[in-house]
Amino acid sequence: MQRRSLIGLTALMLAALAVLLGLGFWQLKRLHWKEGLIAQIEARTKAEPMTVEDAKRLAREGGDPSYYRVRAEGRFHHGKELRLYALSDGKLGWHVITPLETANGDMILVDRGFVPDEFKDPASRAKGQIKSVTTVTGIVRAPEKQGLFTPDNEPKANRWFWRDWPAMRRALFPARTVEVAPFVLEADDTPVPGGWPKGGQTRLDIPNDHLQYAITWFLLAAGLLVIYALYVLDRYRRRTPSA
């Protein structure tokens, strides 16, 4: 009976060991993927800016233009400004997303940057509502997916909590007769008149804790082996008569 119970315990230990080792090696794979992603983002954000057309072509061909720098020239349509709820340096406020019309008539949604809640009304930052042709350089960001705890967007109230690009496009251009680049361009920190919106809000500090997670799983696996070995050794000693 004791032999059978030890066989069952060993089977459970081996199953648990396999799970712990599997999680450890999975975290190592994630580490390799994350390091590649970070290197890619660093290279893209330091490269020379590409044109809007190049970024759109890359997206049409199935590529991902995320984090590439893009330079666009055109006029803002400030009357179509969207506001995305945000937190910056501990202050609650909004990201101002405004369509920019290029010389060929295409549109690109530009996240011009952050404004505190007291500057939510465009009239309170009139100097920053640039009316002339302007050049914007920024970083491409792909449309987002709604998180588990992210509130629903409220297009009619112009309150957005996540970048739902298709819904933003519909809110701005319901007739669908205007071509809109399939991404959002986050403007860099080039100052604007009046100081608002404040660009350069792209977060590039991507967490990479996979090595620590892998070490944790491997240590748990090692601990399991030690505990199992001590238990078996104790049972062996109990069954072996002393001289």
| Per-residue pLDDT tens digits for 169-222 | 999 998 777 889 999 999 999 999 999 999 999 988 889 999 999 999 999 999
pLDDT value at residue 140 = 96
Query: 103 near 74, Cβ under 8 Å?
Result: yes
Partnered with residue 50 across adjacent β-strands are 70
Q: Where exactly are the structural domains of the chain?
A: 2-38+209-239, 49-195
Write out pLDDT tens, residues 97-134.
999 999 888 899 999 999 999 999 999 999 999 999 99
Per-residue pLDDT at 151 exceeds 90: yes
Amino acid at 106: D
Amino acid at 76: F
Partnered with residue 82 across adjacent β-strands are 97
Mean pLDDT score, 46-67: 93
Decide the pairing of beta strands 82-88 and 180-187: unpaired
CA distances, 81 to each of 133, 148, 185, 188 (Å): 17, 26, 14, 18
Per-residue pLDDT at 239 exceeds 90: no
Residues 6+ apart with CB under 8 A from 63: none
**What six digits make up the tokens of 224?**
């399991």
Query: Domain spanning 49-195: which CATH class is it, in words?
Result: mainly beta
| CA dihedral angle for residue 213, residue 215, residue 220, residue 222, rounded to 10 degrees | 160
Write out pLDDT tens, residues 63-106.
999 999 999 999 999 999 999 999 988 899 999 999 999 988 88
pTM of the model: 0.83
Per-residue pLDDT at 5 exceeds 80: no
